[in-house]
Amino acid sequence: MSITPHRRARRTAAFLAAALLTTLLPAGTATAAAARTSRLQQDADALRDAGVTGVSVRLASPDGLHTVRSGVGDLRTGQPVPPDGYMRIGSTTKTFVATVLLQLAGEGRLSLTDTVDTWLPGVVRGHGNDGRRITLRHLLRHTSGVPDYVKDVVPEPGAAGYRHHRWTVHTPEQRVALALRHPAAFDPGARWEYSNTNYVLAGMVIKAVTGHSWEQEVRDRIVRPLRLTHTRTPGNRPFLPRPHAHNYQQFEPAGPMTDTTIAYLPFDGDADGSMISTAADTGRFFSALVRGKLLAPAQLAEMQRTVDVPDDHGDPPGTRAGLGLLWTPLSCGGGYWGHGGSGFGYVVGPAVTPDGRTTVTVSAHSRPGDNDTAARQIRGITDLTDHALCAARDDGAR
């Protein structure tokens, strides 16, 4: 096969670029970087082989930036996952909201020991739920006992329910009212149990304290100061900006993949999980957060004061919960901070080392219809994160 001059020129340019990079980097660095990218690619491919339609990984560490992709971003066209495309970050939104509340605490405008009733009088009442006994700390740490409203808005049956209800808009007050139709899960502070309603209430408290929506406070206090130019608080606007990968949900085992790129507004439109970002912006946020760029030392310490997460929650053993943050242990010792997010057709897993110097964000753009496959894919995301952060630490120690 003959090689055209244009192709020969491109190959020569690629060779020279690689040679120059190897020359400029310290001895062994290029080899280590290549090995890390190769391992990232293997782990991303393993997620694809486990059934994820499209995967994207971004690792930023002191020795540079590493990005890999696997699978496709569009099942119809076969187009690849776009590099650093927009993505829904789901419950990662909670970390932004918790940061704002902690900033307000640092400013003396509220206290984490304030009850919900202090700021939202009479809102949490009924079936054993009592806002006079629930503190803001309980909300942010998921120890309030307030039931999760999400169980009341999950579509039935399956894909048809998703399409029928995806445009339905609920106010924060309506979401809370749905939750309060159920008995309190436990007495405030008695144990830990994840409830999206906690952060709907937290968003309502932000508005009661500041007079502004939680979205505006997040933009003014976090997004603009950090120049997160690709981070959005879309409210009830259901479309992703371009470029983006498509999200796909399998609503029943062995069933077809349904394109769920359009938000499911019954639970994609509030302070518990509505934000849109990119892997680059998400990593920049978590790095700034743990390095003390957003919170004073006392508030950051409060955020990172943790309680046990029950093993049956699905997180890795040893996971602990702070205020809008989760601590996950590493197989090589130590651990990392982060807060994942998920919704119909997507899972995002951001993580940051305690010193803020290394971040990794994994985005998976489909979810399966059976629990065993879902658990295997989540383990794949956790394993990828573990491998990436342990390798980055090992290289930094050399």
Q: Which of 91, 195, 277, 366 is catalytic?
A: 91
Q: How far apart are CA 175 and CA 236, in angstroms?
A: 14
Active site residue 91: yes
Nearest to 271 by CA among 147, 97, 134: 97
Q: Say how far apart CA 86 and CA 72 lie, in whole Å.
A: 15
Please tell me the number of Cα atoms within 13 Å of 20 on its side-chain side: 6
b (16+ CB within 10 A) / e for 98-109: bbbbbbbbbeee
C-alpha closest to that of 303 among 154, 99, 26? 99
Q: Where are the alpha helices (DSSP H) in the chain?
A: 5-24, 29-49, 93-106, 116-119, 136-141, 158-165, 172-179, 197-210, 214-218, 265-268, 279-290, 297-303, 371-397
**What is the rounded CA–CA span in Å between residue 335 and residue 193?**
22
Is 347 in contact with 363 (CB distance < 8 Å)? yes
By residue count, the chain amounts to 398
Active site residues: 91
